[in-house]
Structure 1
């Protein structure tokens, strides 16, 4: 079964280029393209894709508002497209429910890999900015937004008590940017076991994905900005 994708960007060359690369894959199908946020939201409603590649800066309805609407009304996974790896709008995109972001100069193979990763339920952040990005969200005092709509940090703090000791440690390591493989090595268990721990964390905290779990860890004080710097890099 193919991964269904919508590509939304106000630059036609970017849209068509990404679409051509993805459509050439045997397991990926681009079901629609969109030139602005409103078109992207409409395309998701019409085609029910698995993944939406969404430009952050577009005329009319921008990518942030489009992501917020898509994530609140569907199970479609959103990956934001940006020109700069520390684009200020990336913070708002994560709070809107996006599963991560890609730079527009992404390599062909990395673009394809990203779509597959997100479609499989994982989250995607550029390796060079994972911990720095989340820590900066906290330093900017963005807690007023909450980790997700209707889930303020205080409520999530109370839910942390439902986690087992191993699940809580898994959340800490996620927040420090470690991959499943690195967490598995730290625990001396299989990656499958780590995936189970991550799934349990998301379920118990009622979070959408790993990105939201990382934000939760910082906003609830489970992990302090700057703590554990130098550990793991990767998606």
Structure 2
């Protein structure tokens, strides 16, 4: 079972996400709490995935993210947002968020996105990605994305594309007929060559370099 914690100050949002995710046989919502109770809830319920509102009235979602990332074994955290571009998103990416998605994501897609997160994949709402990718990479001081991806071997480039599509290591291995250990090695090489520290940042480089096709909103990748 994939253990999920939903953090949002609006009870209606918490209830909606809980109801949708509870329809999946392999997902358990272990808690749904406001932001002020998020860190304690993670300690108590030990979720695999946290869906965290990026902006809440009683506590800053980015502060909660930083607190969670400092834990010895932090959960995977994806940020929830109602807007399609904001400086909060850029900060969340730099702080280690595994992705971000809009609160109006298609309910049928939500369990799929949670599974991708649990498998080590990324979740990038296309509405957000198209608006923040250039600004994020520019502010990060990266070389042009095309120069970075040119350093990759053909196999590493193929791994990067699948990472950007939201696939975890086991799924990438199945797709490319590689062992999980081999995939991990390629992922490490990709992150190093692209000068990034996370899969979601690598996905943004792939997006900017033109390696991805036009995404559908709510897709992983």
In which range does the TM-score fall when normalised by the shorter chain?
0.7 to 0.9
Instruction: Determine the C-alpha separation between the residues in 2 that align with 1:83 and 1:109.
Output: 18
Over the residues paired in the alignment, what is the CA RMSD in angstroms? 3.3
SS at match of 1:26: coil
Query: TM-score, structure 2 length as denominator?
Result: 0.74
* 1:191 aligned residue: 175
Contact 2:82 2:102 in 1 (8 A): yes
Name the stretch that deviates more: 22-31 or 47-56: 22-31
Structure 1 residue corresponding to 2:42, chosen from 20, 44, 56: 44
Contact 1:100 1:211 in 2 (8 A): yes
Shift of 1:194: 7.5
Shift of 1:4: 0.5
Contact 2:3 2:27 in 1 (8 A): yes
Confirm whether residue 169 of structure 1 aligns to residue 157 of structure 2. Answer: yes
Task: Rate the CA distance shift 1:104–1:142 in 2: closer, same or farther, 3 A.
Answer: same
Structure 2 matches for 1:1-235, cutoff 5 A? 2-36=1-35, 38-73=36-71, 74-130=73-129, 132-139=131-138, 141-143=139-141, 165-166=153-154, 168-170=156-158, 173=161, 191-193=175-177, 199-204=184-189, 205=191, 209-214=198-203, 218=205, 227-228=209-210, 231-233=213-215, 234-235=219-220
Shift of 1:6: 0.6
Shift of 1:105: 1.1
Structure 1 gaps, min length 5:
144-152, 155-159, 181-188
Task: Rate the CA distance shift 1:26–1:172 in 2: closer, same or farther, 3 A.
Answer: closer
SS at match of 2:122: coil
SS at match of 2:100: strand
Instruction: Determine the C-alpha separation between the residues in 2 that align with 1:19 and 1:135.
Output: 34
Instruction: Determine the C-alpha separation between the residues in 2 that align with 1:131 and 1:193.
Output: 31
Task: Rate the CA distance shift 1:174–1:24 in 2: closer, same or farther, 3 A.
Answer: closer
Instruction: Determine the C-alpha separation between the residues in 1 that align with 2:174 and 2:94.
Output: 31
Task: Rate the CA distance shift 1:136–1:60 in 2: closer, same or farther, 3 A.
Answer: same
Aligned residues: 200
Shift of 1:94: 1.1
Instruction: Determine the C-alpha separation between the residues in 2 that align with 1:83 and 1:115.
Output: 18
Instruction: Determine the C-alpha separation between the residues in 2 that align with 1:178 and 1:17.
Output: 26
Contact 2:85 2:131 in 1 (8 A): no
Shift of 1:21: 1.6
SS at match of 1:133: helix
Shift of 1:229: 7.5
Structure 2 gaps, min length 5:
168-172
Name the stretch that deviates more: 203-212 or 59-68: 203-212
Name the stretch that deviates more: 125-134 or 99-108: 125-134
Instruction: Determine the C-alpha separation between the residues in 2 that align with 1:57 and 1:172.
Output: 30
Query: TM-score, structure 1 length as denominator?
Result: 0.70
